[in-house]
Every structure is written in structure tokens, then in C-alpha cells.
Amino acid sequence: MGSHNWDGPGDPASADRSWPEGEATQENRPRRRGPFPPRIMPKFGGPPPPPTGSPVVPPPPVSGAGTHGHDHRHSHTAGVPRVFIVLAALIAIILLGICAAGVLLDEGGGQPVAAEGQTGRVDGSGLIGREGLDEIAAAGELLRARPYQVSFRFRRATSLIRADEPTPVPAATLTWTGELRSTGGAEPSWDARTQVTAQSANGAELGVVDSLVVVETGGVRYLNSASYSAGRRPWTAATGADRSTYCWPAGTFRRADGEVTAIPLPVADPVEYLDVESASVTTESLPENVTRFLLDDAITPGDRLTAAIHALATSTGVDLPEYTLSITVASDGTLAAVELTGTGNADGTTLTMTVHSAGTGVVVTAPPADQVTG
């Protein structure tokens, strides 16, 4: 008889597939398992290769097998090399890691964030230690090494009232503008010609509150107010580390409680706002290689910035004003502008200082002694 499907022990490929010589008997006939004839019954795991030249015929379904035509006890991964299974697992792990990183980045707004208690600069490529703050300090040193001028504008809320109208008009904001000139150097002399105006809640101008000239030289600050003078001399002098700048309301303005008192004003030299011990710093690239540094309200000031913020607190009536700083540095590394924006308890307060005419000679002269009181 011909070949048959092997169902005994050992390797089917090496087995003797022919019938013994002579007539088959019960003893030498191959054992049959199940109701299938030996030529049809497949060995679970696939039939042996058919004889050469015969067509390949798939085995019929086996009772108890699924739609794949094999017993469910047989593994679906049988015959799949283990290396492919391991590789697939590794790819799945990598993909899960990428997805997790994407979720974390999205929660952070897509921007790198400084760790708590850490100080430095974030510029889209990560935190860079104190480099940002050092660049800011260096920009101020470069500017102060020579004469410079500053256009400034300060605005805050006010309770002044214009009282010369039939019905008094309350002012909503007070605006101080002017031009400051500095000689630069370690102990600079400077002067400023300024004007203070008031605006109503709808932005309408209510008039000039005061015109003020300030001169600082030799450790003395001189004030000349159009609305106030001590005796018959136009200038008032102040000395000491806590010397400040004030204006006085003109006769048409007074406070809501009827009092007429001096109005304190902040420091208008931008270099005094660069002494920062620590802050979270981000940068913005502007045309012509200009860089803008943005310092959030978690700022730890140095001594000079502390003094400037003290003057700001006095001028706004807020003990510890909250604020942010925007500092612009030119392509040559020199300070170009500083903008302070009040936040939280100082919301609505702004101070903008723009540098110009750097290097142009500045001469500051104290007023004649016979015109000074103090």
C-alpha cells in the first residue's frame, strides 16, 4: 500500500512509511485514533508534506476546532519566532513612552518650565542657569558706562478730584511723563523735565496736575515744582539715602478728602531695575537681533531694585507691590528699554522707560544756592 500519515512516536520524516511485505494483519496494521481514516486524519499542527507531484490540499475542519481549522488548544503564536514577539513588545513600550511624554508636554503648555526654587532663563530650549539674569546685568553696565537719555511714562490709579468744575470731576488715573538725562558712571548725575496729568475714567484729559524739574548731583536731589515752592525760592533740596521725588497738585486738584498733599513719584532710571537676584526668565527674539527678557512676578530683588520698588510702593500706596519686568537688550548688548507692569495688588500700574541718545554728552548742573531751600 502507499504512504500514510504518521501517528506513532518519533520523527515522522524518518519513519518507515511503507507497509510490511505480505498481507496486512491486525498486528502490523497502523493504529487509528478517532473516526478518521489514516490518510485523512491530520496530525495537529499541520499535515506532513504530500508526496512529490501531488496537489497540496488543506485538511478538512476538525471537530472542536475554531474558524482557523485547528484545535483551540493550539497556540496562535506557534511557529512565530520568539525574536519577533520580543521586538513587538519593545516597540509597544517605546510608543507608550512617547505618548506619555506628549501628555506631560501638553500639560506644561508645550513650554519648558523651571523647576520649583530654580532660577534661570527659559528660551524654548530649556533652563540655562543664571545666564539670562547675567545678560540683563551686563546690559545695564554697558549703558551706564556712558551718558544716555530716557523717555519715560508712569501711570497709576488716583483719588484726585478736579475741583474747579461746577460738579467736581473725579480722576481715575495719574500719568507722569518726561525726559531723563544721565551722565552715566558709578555715581551718575541726572536731571529730568517732567509733567504730571490726570485722566477721567473714560480717558479724557483733566489737565496738568504739576510741571516738575528734578536735578540729582553731588548726592543732593533738587525739585522745582510749578505748583509749590518753599518760601520764595523755586528749588527744594533733599539729601540722604531715602531722598525721593514728589509733585504737588495745582490749585484745581485736590484729594477726595479735601487734603492737598505731595504726591510721591517712582524712580525713572531703567538701570535701577536690573539688580535681580533671582527670577524665572523667558526670552523673546525681536527683529535686528534684539532680545526681550520677561521676568515673572516671582522676582527676588537686589539692593538697588529693592530701593526702586520701595519708591514704587510709596508712589502707589501699596506696601509690597506685585509686578513683572520686561527688559529689552539691543543687538550690541546694551539696555534698550524696561517696562514694569503691576499685577495683583498693583494692577493698573505701569512704568515704561525707553533709552535713546546713548553716548551723547550730558552735562548736569545744580541750581544756584540762593534759589534753593533745604
Q: What is the pLDDT of residue 6?
A: 41
CA 188 to chain centre: 35
Q: Over 60: is that where the pLDDT of 142 sits?
A: yes
Q: What is the pLDDT of residue 167?
A: 87
Higher pLDDT, 286 or 48: 286
Which of 79-93, 105-119, 228-242 has the largest mean confidence? 228-242
Q: Over 90: is that where the pLDDT of 355 sits?
A: yes
Express each pLDDT in 173-192 by its tens digit. 999 999 999 999 999 999 99
Mean pLDDT of 238-250: 90
pLDDT band at 3 (very low <50, low <70, confident <90, very high): very low
Q: Which fold has domain 131-362?
A: outer membrane lipoprotein receptor (LolB), chain A (2.50.20)
Q: Over 90: is that where the pLDDT of 121 sits?
A: no
pLDDT band at 62 (very low <50, low <70, confident <90, very high): very low
Higher pLDDT, 113 or 176: 176
Q: Where are the domains of the chain?
A: 1-6+22-74, 131-362
Q: What is the pLDDT of residue 24?
A: 46
Considering the entire predicted model, what is its pTM? 0.67
Q: What is the pLDDT of residue 211?
A: 97
Q: Give percent above pLDDT 90 in the chain.
A: 55
Give the least confident one: 116-120, 240-244, 276-280.
116-120
**308 within 8 A of 264, measured Cβ to Cβ:** no
Express each pLDDT in 213-226 by its tens digit. 999 999 999 999 99
Q: Over 60: is that where the pLDDT of 370 sits?
A: yes
Express each pLDDT in 290-326 by its tens digit. 999 999 868 999 999 999 999 999 999 999 999 999 9
Q: Over 60: is that where the pLDDT of 17 sits?
A: no
Give the least confident one: 3-17, 176-190, 208-222, 273-287.
3-17
Q: Over 60: is that where the pLDDT of 18 sits?
A: no
Give the least confident one: 150-164, 178-192, 244-258.
244-258
Q: What is the pLDDT of residue 13?
A: 46
Q: What is the pLDDT of residue 100?
A: 59
CB-count exposure of residue 213 (10 Å: 0-12, 13-18, 19+): middle
Q: How high is the mean pLDDT of the chain?
A: 79
pLDDT band at 195 (very low <50, low <70, confident <90, very high): very high
In the 3-class helix/strand/coil scheme, how is the chain assigned residue by residue? CCCCCCCCCCCHHHCCCCCCCCCCCCCCCCCCCCCCCCCCCCCCCCCCCCCCCCCCCCCCCCCCECCCCCECCCCCCCCCCHHHHHHHHHHHHHHHHHHHHHHHHHHCCCCCCCCCCCCEEECCCCECCCHHHHHHHHHHHHHHCCCEEEEEEEEEECCEEECCCCCCEECCEEEEEEEEEECCCCCCCEEEEEEEEEECCCCCEEEEEEEEEEEEECCEEEEEECCCCECCECEEEEECCCCCEEECCCCCEEECCCCCCCEEECCCCHHHHCCEEECEEEEEEEHHHEEEEEECCCCEECHHHHHHHHHHHHHHCCCCCEEEEEEEECCCCCEEEEEEEEEHHHCCCEEEEEEECCCCCCCCCCCCHHHEEC
> Which phi-psi region, left, alpha or beta, contains residue 251 (left: φ > 0; alpha: ψ -120 to 50)?
alpha
Mean pLDDT of 64-82: 49
